[in-house]
Structure 1
Amino acid sequence: MGNDGHIAHLTGPRRPRALSPLREHLRDTFWFAPTAGLLGAVLLWWAASAVDLEIVALLQRERAYGAVRELMSIAEDAKTIVTTISAAMMTFIGVVFSISLVAVQMAGGQLTPRVVRIFVRSRITKITLTVFLATFLFSLLVLTSYESESSAREVTSVPVVQSLMTLALVGLSLVLFIAYVSSTLRLMQVGPVVDRIARETLRMLARQAPGSEDGGDGAGVRAPETGWMAHEGRAGVVRDVHVARLVRVARRQGVVLRLIPRIGDFVMPGTPVLAVHGGTPPRRALLRYTVSVGVERTFHQDLGLGLRQLSDIALRALSPAVNDPTTAVQCLDRVVQILAAVVHRPLGTVHHRDRRGAVRLTQRVPGWADLVDLGLTEVRAASVHSPQVTRRLLAGIDDLLLLAPEERREPLVRHRELLLQAVEQAVPEAADRRFASHPDRQGIG
């Protein structure tokens, strides 16, 4: 939340500080890391070139021309290697990432197109591409440092350090290539993908402030609504809000701001996005870049995105064209894990407070029933003819019923009854119905 977004009634270990929206948005891009790597390659070459100049100048001042000639001989031998590296690196990059794009396309087709974002956010993918491009650019710059034939007395620079740095970058590229292939193969498997989705959801949950089950628009805001701010710009989904900046603006203005849409809602130009309570609305310039709208949802503050992705993967696996109930069971494992993590957590409306403890920003988050419906409804409807999935779904609901307090049992009981009714109607044989209605955490062993 930054320094202005303190959370009231927080107990236990200190909650991790929220990532800034800018940092999160840069992680969703594929250009920032390679661009920074190219700039770093230029700076590294400049530093190595300066070291080479200083070494040659020092040897010439001491009249160690034999050492200079030896360095020139080493650099001339290394020139062939550097030339080969510069010629081969771009071809290597093109082949590797062409294969990677095919792998991403296959994973998106087999699981869900929304998992492509996992590849985009993969650190090892970005680091590998960055080092590959930096090695290519660095080798080209090193070639410019080679001088034409000259004597040991007249030469100004011998790119020995630069050549050694090129070889070091090549070695690093080979190591990263092995790690990249291993990581890409793992992300093409169902287990690591659903595990990654669950971990990102739980990580986001740890950063988010606890809510309060007071429900309704404007819940917890005592002051009357005095105005609202409309969305300007392109249509899209609300990806996240800059909580610290909104809290700071509301504190200086002496008002309470309320985020009208939930994170993940689709908004159009003119749609109300911020309601103002208790005072004069802030100038629009102060609220610029506080509500981020994009074409896709992100994990930064979106509690329901992980369940949405897991549900999509399970539905695709249960479709007649794929017919892979084991994948659906793996998704249900993670759905139950996420629901278990929030079963005791206050949900509904999140209150963000300033340093004095006054509420300055409120936003709605999905409630318990919303999350249960999101994680179970579509999978339940599609799983009637798959006993492996119905058995795992019943076992997951039973586990959640053991954990859930009394006031949160109703959605779980409702889904359990609907599933049993659907199995009763869809499965004609009594023995098959009993089998499909028996809870089993592995589905079918």
Structure 2
Amino acid sequence: MSPLREHLRDTFWFTPTVGLVGAVVGAVGVLLVDEAYVGWLQESGDYGTVASLTKIADDARTIVSTVGSAMLTFIGVVFSISLVALQMASGQFSPRVVRLYVRSRITKCAFAVFLATFLFALLVQASYEGETDPRKVTTVPVFSSGMCVLLVLVSLGLFIAYVNSTLRLMRVSHVIDRINRESMRVLDRHARGGGPGPGADALPPAGSEIVHRGRAGVLRDVHIARLVRVARRHGVVLRLIPRIGDYVVPGTPVLAVHGGHRPPPPRALRYTVSVGVERTFHQDVGFGLRQLSDIAQRALSPAVNDPTTAVQCLDRIVQFLAAVAHRPLGALCHCDRAGTVRLVQDLPGWTDLVDLGLTEIRRCAVTSPQVTRRMMAGLDDLWALVPAGRRQPVERHRALLAQAVARTVPEAAERAFALVPDRQGIG
């Protein structure tokens, strides 16, 4: 997927802007069709039809005027609903789930069509003439009025879809499932985009390093195709030093150049590294686990006290870890068309992902037997699924969980109950 396309998905202005431009182009085009149609009737001498259309246009003007004024109010109501939904989702789940709303195609399309309908109605309303003589009238908005009514019908359909999408955003189960599906897409994208390869120790000695000269921010993604082309052109191997999701400041080394006679010029590497104010799903393997962990921690806080939500988060965390249990992690290599490695990207290892998904939840869950039982079941499942070389982090978390429960729960019976594996928590 193109980084530009991914960045546009993270913005809210692009799709509504396209809708406004489409409304202007569509209005001009349909009005030209109206003008050509009236001209054809006048040339054929059918002035009776022109007179009838002029009378119909008076009624259509009332409809279009009503649509224009009503759509503005409609947009204000929808915007208010959006703000309330965002505030509730951010307060109950995590501030990072707001980006799910921003990336929602239904939401963007709904706002784009609403704004386009409003602008289209204004342009059509401005095209009405006061002339009633069928020999002198130049245009009668016939097709444009019908198009305006069609846009209203489309807007009503999108409004129903938008309300349904917003209600799903306010339900934690759908939010968790959406995060999990996005995380799985990232894994599949990495599997298609590259393969396992040598780490930094297996590469030739680094001849130089390319430092970050842009603004400070979170490393969101890199333009893999462009970096591979630059490396092939200069006969080098580039290695991304920070991980996706790291915070970089100006002067931080971001690319190490291995092999070759001279490093690529800075101009060739311009716009290959993108930083922003927050992490994204595009190339960040661990961002989904970060969000699921945040939601679970908030659910386990004394102010919320919702262990069932934490159990649902653990379900998806175990699913994600099981999906990467047999995948090569660490270094991801991207090759050129000849099959030569040109870019090495550092990914989180198995231990990093297990710690990211379980550590903070484990520390918050010791007083909730529902969560500890689900975590024990998940750890047992992962121990059985992963290769023998990856069982150490799983065993460590199981031992730490048992120790934390032993320190916190004084009664022996309660401790034994809290450590019984149960995939439903308390099924």
Q: TM-score, normalised by structure 1?
A: 0.94
Is the 1:211–1:347 contact (alpha carbons within 8 Å) kept by the matching residues of 2? no
Partner of 1:4 in structure 2? Answer: none
2:72 matched to 1:90? yes
Runs ≥4 in structure 1, deviation > 3 angstroms? 209-215
**Paired residue total:** 424
Aligned 8 A contact 2:61 2:125 in 1 = yes
Verify: 1:356 aligned to 2:325, yes or no: no
Tell me what 1:174 maps to: 156
C-alpha separation in 2, matches of 1:220 and 1:339: 27
Q: Distance in 2 between matches of 1:260 and 1:178?
A: 47
Q: Residues 144 and 375 (structure 1 numbering): CA distance in 2 closer, same or farther, change over 3 Å?
A: same
Task: Show the 5 A alignment for 1:314-353.
Answer: 314-353=296-335
The aligned counterpart of 2:36 is 54
Tell me, what secondary structure is at the counterpart of 2:243?
A: coil
Q: Distance in 2 between matches of 1:194 and 1:219?
A: 38
Unaligned runs of 5+ in 2: none
- Cα displacement (A) at 1:212: 3.4
Aligned to 1:263: 244
State the secondary structure of the residue aligned to 2:209: strand
Q: Deviations over 1:308-351 (max 9, x none)?
A: 00000000111111111011001001101110110010000011
- Summarize deviations over 1:230-265 as a string: whole Å, max 9, x none: 101211010000000000000001111111100000
Question: Cα RMSD between the aligned structures?
Answer: 1.1
| Match in the other structure for 1:15 | none
CA distance in structure 1 between the aligned counterparts of 2:202 and 2:154, rounded to whole angstroms: 55
**2:219 aligns to what?**
238
Distance of 1:353 and 1:103 partners within structure 2: 44
Q: Percent identity?
A: 67
2:57: which partner in 1? 75
**Structure 2 equivalent of residue 274 of structure 1:** 255
Residue 204 of structure 1 deviates from its aligned partner by: 1.1
Contact 2:195 2:334 in 1 (8 A): no
Per-residue deviation at 1:213?
7.6
Is the 8 Å Cα contact of residues 213 and 347 (structure 1) preserved in structure 2?
A: no
Q: What's 1:204 paired with? A: 186
Quote how far apart the aligned CAs of 1:98 are: 1.4
Partners of 1:433 and 1:289 in 2: CA distance: 55
Which of structures 1 and 2 has the larger relative contact order (alpha carbons within 8 angstroms, sep 6+)?
1
Instruction: Answer yes or no: is 1:225 the counterpart of 2:232.
Output: no
Q: 1:106 aligns with which of 68, 84, 88?
A: 88
- How far apart are 1:423 and its partner, in Å? 1.1
CA contact (8 A) 1:298 1:305 kept: yes
1:403 to 378, 382, 385: 385
* d(CA) in 1 for partners of 2:56, 2:425: 65
Query: Which residue of 1 is the match for residue 370 of structure 2?
Result: 388
What secondary structure is seen at the aligned counterpart in 2 of 1:409?
helix
Post-superposition offset of 1:96: 1.4
Q: Residue in 1 aligned with 2:115?
A: 133
Which residue identity does 1:256 align to in structure 2?
V
1:157 to 1:307, Cα distance in 2 relative to 1, 3 A: same
- Structure 1 residue 149 displacement after superposition: 2.4
Give the secondary-structure state (helix, strand or coil) at the position aligned to 1:38.
Answer: helix
1: CA distance, partners of 2:153 / 2:413: 62
List gaps (5 residues or longer) in structure 1.
Answer: 1-18
Matched residue type, 2:207: T
Deviation at 1:219, TM superposition (A): 3.9
Distance between the aligned counterparts of 1:421 and 1:214, measured in 2?
38
Q: Any conservation in 1 of the 2:218–2:279 contact (CA below 8 Å)? A: yes
The change in CA–CA distance for 1:401 and 1:345 in structure 2 (over 3 A counts) is same
1:308 is aligned, of 274, 290, 301, to 290
Q: Is the 8 A contact 1:213 1:346 kept in 2?
A: no
1-structure distance, mates of 2:186, 2:39:
55
SS in 2 for 1:228: strand
Q: Distance in 1 between matches of 2:195 and 2:186?
A: 14
SS in 2 for 1:443: coil
- Partner of 1:159, secondary structure, is coil
What TM-score comes out, normalization by structure 2 length? 0.98
**Whole-angstrom distance in 1 between the partners of 2:201 and 2:55:** 77
1:25 and 2:7 aligned: yes
How much has 1:39 moved relative to structure 2? 0.5
Secondary structure of 1:226 counterpart: strand
Q: Is the 8 A contact 1:53 1:157 kept in 2?
A: yes
Aligned-partner residue type, residue 223 of structure 2: H
- 2:51–2:132 contact (8 Å) kept in structure 1: no
Residue type of the alignment partner of 1:71: L
Could you tell me how far apart the structure 2 residues matched to 1:324 and 1:213 are? 43
Which amino acid in the other structure matches residue 194 of structure 1?
I
Q: 1:395 to 1:141 in 2, by over 3 A?
A: same
Distance 1:387 1:362 in 2: 43
1:419 to 395, 401, 404: 401
Give the distance between the partners of 1:334 and 1:398, measured in 2 at CA: 15
Bigger Cα displacement from structure 2, 427-436 vs 365-374: 427-436
Q: Are 2:124 and 1:142 aligned? A: yes
Pairwise CA distance, 1:150: 2.8
- For 1:411 and 1:72, locate their aligned partners in 2 and report how far apart those are by CA, in whole Å: 79
Distance 2:361 2:195 in 1: 27
Aligned residue number for residue 3 of structure 1: none
